[in-house]
Structure 1
């Protein structure tokens, strides 16, 4: 029953919209152009403020520098490992299980200097 009531209302609204467009098409075009210009101005302002805040040194350059350094360091070690892995050891030829041994990867951990031996002074309860 709601569909029977809903359909004439929707058709009436669509008909009035078509009548409004047909009576004043230049007014509609002016209104659409005005809205588009306003939206464009707000978009450009938003982009200008978000790009200016991201240009600053937020620690990103330090991370990029460390990533390049790490990539350079480990790229040279992989070239050396590639040449060594081409040679097949005689043990691997005799024992197929020996070839399944996994190589250890280098850890990416660093030591942070500080007061490790000193205990905190805590209040006793």
Structure 2
């Protein structure tokens, strides 16, 4: 019973909305265009404010994320099979440039890893518990 009541209320509200929309279009045909333009402008302003605010908030983290995503995309694009791989002697100019850039990057990049010395050689004195 409740479901029927809810469906009928929704139908009545939608029907009244359609009647109101049609009557306003009949009185003032440019009314709909004005309303769409106003709401679109307001939505655009809110979106731009949001973008500026989020750009300031994200700052360095977001730019680092974009850089890492771009590198990951390049890596997976390089792994994708290409029609030229069937004949290994044939290479395009772009592939030759990529291989030169990749080899140059591998030589110049420094890893930022450090070795932490542990105590693997020392035995625990179990009698001191």
Greater radius of gyration (CA): 1
Greater fraction helix: 2
Q: TM-score by structure 1 length?
A: 0.40
Q: TM-score by structure 2 length?
A: 0.39
